[in-house]
Structure 1
């Protein structure tokens, strides 16, 4: 079996067994961590002629990282379907209902979830999102309005749907809009560079990398207002300081359920480096809202040749399983 066929087969098996369509608040469950993001790790980008609108039919289990118009028409009763949406870190994902023909009174639905939820674990976590979980769902059957648009709070979202009558379906347009201050992000790649800025807002921001990586922090500014340093490192630990950065590792999706690997609550100019051999790595900034906090970091695959021999503030590879 080719790698492409194996990828598609694993993806279909995982999610067809995982979705629970009868619940009001839906989740993706029972997916093996090694496989749940296999489609994300494949090449999802497509080259388009400038100005061309990308169109294609949707599968019951699908993922999109590109803008366009997408159609789903049920050929048989489809009870447990999900569409994963992801953009670049500096983008917000939006979903527009162009046409919907479903039987809401008969149990059909099309629901957009603000973020991702898999195996009962959410991204962003409840600690990092401004809304409670129940309010992060937008159900078409509650609004009944086509041309309505749902905008996610970050670069990822999901669409859950159940359509029981063959021939029924919907048309969605997926768009992406710029996000001047990206907060919660799932990275599409295993390497990159990112600057996180929280401009005097009382909120938490998590950057999730679903790969074992080497994190290199080049610049961290905490407790500053304009050019004046107003805050010194807390002597009682980062958790009490109100403004800090933590590195987390684990096998799941929810940062609040991951193992803390390091805390930083003082400003510095790098480099500072840490190797994290976890399935999922998260860089999380907690902000009190009193200051402009800024963090710049790079990330590369942990196994990449040459990184192990570089000079820097290295910490031995570490990852603890989440119980």
Structure 2
């Protein structure tokens, strides 16, 4: 396998419209069937998730089968799993002729519109090492494993009949760092004596609240309680251990609009807030000198809540009934 991200510039998805169409539903557009047309691939026969669409998102594991009808565009299979797991991908069968321009790439994380999740500053590997590219004909390659609960298969199969079969497994991750979240629950970002950054990213509008945090201060009992409360000017301290909360227009949380910076220690839940114009981001930045932890509660907004709470940003009348009537619905 080569490790040069040639496919990054080829996967172009229209910014906000495609992003909202791609992820909010997080539905599985594949179907479970048993294929019987190629004994070399299906021996013995077993259930497959057959991928038909060019862009898919799924949270299921198992075996996926892609057979090209002969399309020139670059496609993507976006994989995600529970926040306390990582994703292992094993290519079991590849028939992608190199001389036709066919190419596949396994990506550690997600890539969209030139941005990566986790961003370059929030991942343990350099960007070039997060891509493994391959073409040709082979059966069974060494499995690759993501660093978080998100991974991506990009593929360009311009010749009809080109095919890929891959097995996806969700494996336990005892110390999750960056997390792609979907749903409503309490999420924890933790960094125990490690110099790293961890990002919590929700691709959907949410209601959120920071429940508690201990960032950039020693554990309880080492310093007087009065010195370990919430601190000010977190981004101006000698060691910049802090939590950033905000909204992002793309996958790279380092480019997000930060609305709140927190450091110190607090067990008092913060105010309830909403994200309306972008993705919800919580980013824990750690120097490695402290055991940092932050707990965040997030809940997906319903369509009605998005309109009533975010109407001023979307320029939509606050009364949903009047809005629908104006549009003739």
Give me the TM-score of the superposition, normalised by structure 1. Answer: 0.78
Aligned counterpart, 1:252: 250
User: For 2:304 and 2:49, how far apart are their aligned partners in 1?
Assistant: 39
Equivalent of 1:42, from 7, 25, 29?
25
Residue 81 to residue 176, structure 1, CA distance change in 2 (3 Å) = same
Aligned counterpart, 1:66: 60
8 Å Cα contact 1:83/1:160 also seen in 2: yes
Aligned counterpart, 1:283: 282
Aligned counterpart, 2:327: none
Aligned counterpart, 1:157: 151
Aligned counterpart, 2:178: 184
8 Å Cα contact 1:249/1:319 also seen in 2: no
Q: How many residues align?
A: 286
Residue 236 to residue 165, structure 1, CA distance change in 2 (3 Å) = closer
8 Å Cα contact 1:54/1:67 also seen in 2: no
**SS at 2:60's partner residue?**
coil
Aligned counterpart, 1:238: 235
Aligned counterpart, 2:106: 112
8 Å Cα contact 1:222/1:294 also seen in 2: yes
8 Å Cα contact 2:215/2:264 also seen in 1: yes
Equivalent of 1:135, from 129, 132, 149?
129
User: For 1:134 and 1:305, how far apart are their aligned partners in 2?
Assistant: 42
8 Å Cα contact 1:27/1:119 also seen in 2: no
8 Å Cα contact 2:78/2:151 also seen in 1: yes
Q: CA deviation at 1:33?
A: 1.1
> 1:46-76: CA deviations, max 9, x gaps?
9x9xxxx852211232222100101111222
**SS at 1:127's partner residue?**
helix
User: For 2:104 and 2:134, how far apart are their aligned partners in 1?
Assistant: 6
Q: CA deviation at 1:225?
A: 4.7
User: For 2:63 and 2:236, how far apart are their aligned partners in 1?
Assistant: 45
> 1:221-278: CA deviations, max 9, x gaps?
1235554446857665335342110102132221111111000011100210233323
Unpaired segments of 5 or more residues in structure 1? 1-21, 307-315
Query: Which deviates the most, 235-244 or 269-278?
Result: 235-244
Residue 212 to residue 166, structure 1, CA distance change in 2 (3 Å) = closer
User: For 1:195 and 1:276, how far apart are their aligned partners in 2?
Assistant: 19
Q: What is the alpha-carbon root mean square deviation over aligned residues?
A: 3.2
Q: CA deviation at 1:92?
A: 0.6
Equivalent of 2:200, from 207, 223, 226?
207
8 Å Cα contact 1:65/1:85 also seen in 2: yes
**SS at 2:287's partner residue?**
coil
Aligned counterpart, 1:221: 214
Residue 77 to residue 195, structure 1, CA distance change in 2 (3 Å) = closer
Q: For the pair shown, which has the larger CA radius of gyration, 1 or 2?
A: 2
Unpaired segments of 5 or more residues in structure 2? 33-45, 315-329
Residue 203 to residue 110, structure 1, CA distance change in 2 (3 Å) = same
Aligned counterpart, 1:86: 80
Q: CA deviation at 1:218?
A: 1.6
